[in-house]
Amino acid sequence: MVRSPFDVSDDEDDPFSDRNYSRLVNRTEEVKNVPDPGHSSHAPSKTYAPVFNVNEVAKEPAYNSTTKAIPETRQHGALYKTLFGGRERGWPYFTYFVSLIQIAVFIYELVKMGIYTKTVFQTKPYFNPMLGPSSYVQINVGARYLPCMTVITGYTDNTQLEWPCPNSTSTSTDVCSLEELCGMGVGFSDGTPRQWWRLFTSIFIHAGFIHIIFNLLLQVALGSKVERYIGLLRFAFIYLAAGMGGSILGANFLPAGMASSGASGALCGACIAMNLILLIYNNNIDHYDPRLKGRGSRKLFVMMLIGSVVEVIVIFVLGLLPGIDNFAHIGGFVIGIALGTVLLDSPSFVYEEDGQTRKPAVFFTWIFVRIACLALTIAYFALLAKNFADKGAEASDSCKWCKYINCLPVNGWCELGDLSTTSS
């Protein structure tokens, strides 16, 4: 009789019968419970890694193209953090380096003033409220002064005109040539002033003790924190670019007879503008002090943000007073904001609350904003450089009302800075 393979069998000779299957299972359990003869009977049984709970695994966020991709923390070395940022402590090398240069240049100004006039403070023919050398010495050292940089019809091309000497202490001593006043040894090969590098050198020159002390306090106190946070390379680039941005704007619109010096443009861009950007970007005050790591006090953050905005307003209002180059402040601040947008990491509002997942619409909008800021920065320098190269001291004719950015139309303040010379 042929049996169906689906029939149940209890035949003892059949290895596939139910009875024999049960015996096999029981025997297997007995063997598993027999201790290993090479080990103690009291040896602990081997444990195995637990199986992950499927529900817990399912809770993990899936990777997508908008996730901020750093799956594991990476520890960078000290050199990397110095150059690219992320340090909480340590020397701000560029801040200290540029501060030492400015101090050395100021000492050189004082020495030169002492040699020329036997005093380091200008008191004649007028008093320097910044407590420092005369504007003539500043010009001779490298301050931004248009007659030394470009042709001014009726002035720089008139060999009969006499200019103040670096050692002048009265208007009756205006007996020097323009080349003697400008000094620096070069830039007058054919009698035409072409000392364009004053756009750069003026960043390192200061008008007096009050001027340099306030600038250094801001530079060391705030600039050092910003440099540690964003890195030496980005800070140095923004500092110099902002300084040049303020200088070239002033060269286009400042009165031709006004000498300008100082790092105010660089500080407005690299310190004040960058500080404001970091407050808004991070939505916290982490870059001020490592001890404030984390969200910190919300009240303190709001106070610092409001204080930074008020600081910007005060600087621009003070720039309306006579003798202050407000164009340098504005130009430096604008370049600082633009380059900060281009070079810094994306702000916190580009990401979800987890700080990792990007908001696609905001992220791509921010890319467009960065590209626009880069284009505007390039256009800013290109257009102002071309306007100054083509028109020289008459560059301000391109914008008649721009002079009111630098002065208030009272007491003849907007007429200050006109050229004053004598004929031989």
Single out the catalytic residue among 206, 211, 287, 329.
329
- Is the Cβ–Cβ distance between 406 and 253 less than 8 Å? yes
Alpha carbon 358 to its chain's center: 24
Single out the catalytic residue among 264, 287, 308, 396.
264
- 400 burial type by CB count under 10 A (0-12 exposed, 13-18 middle, 19+ buried): exposed
Q: Give the integer Cα–Cα distance in Å for 244 and 202.
A: 9
Q: Give the integer Cα–Cα distance in Å for 161 and 158.
A: 6
Is 329 considered catalytic here? Answer: yes
Q: Which residues does 12 contact at the CB level (< 8 Å), separation at least 6? A: 19, 20
Is 264 considered catalytic here? Answer: yes
Q: Give the integer Cα–Cα distance in Å for 358 and 366.
A: 11
- Is the Cβ–Cβ distance between 274 and 238 less than 8 Å? yes
Q: Give the integer Cα–Cα distance in Å for 279 and 56.
A: 37
Strand 422-423 and strand 161-162: pairing? Answer: antiparallel
Q: Known catalytic residues?
A: 264, 329
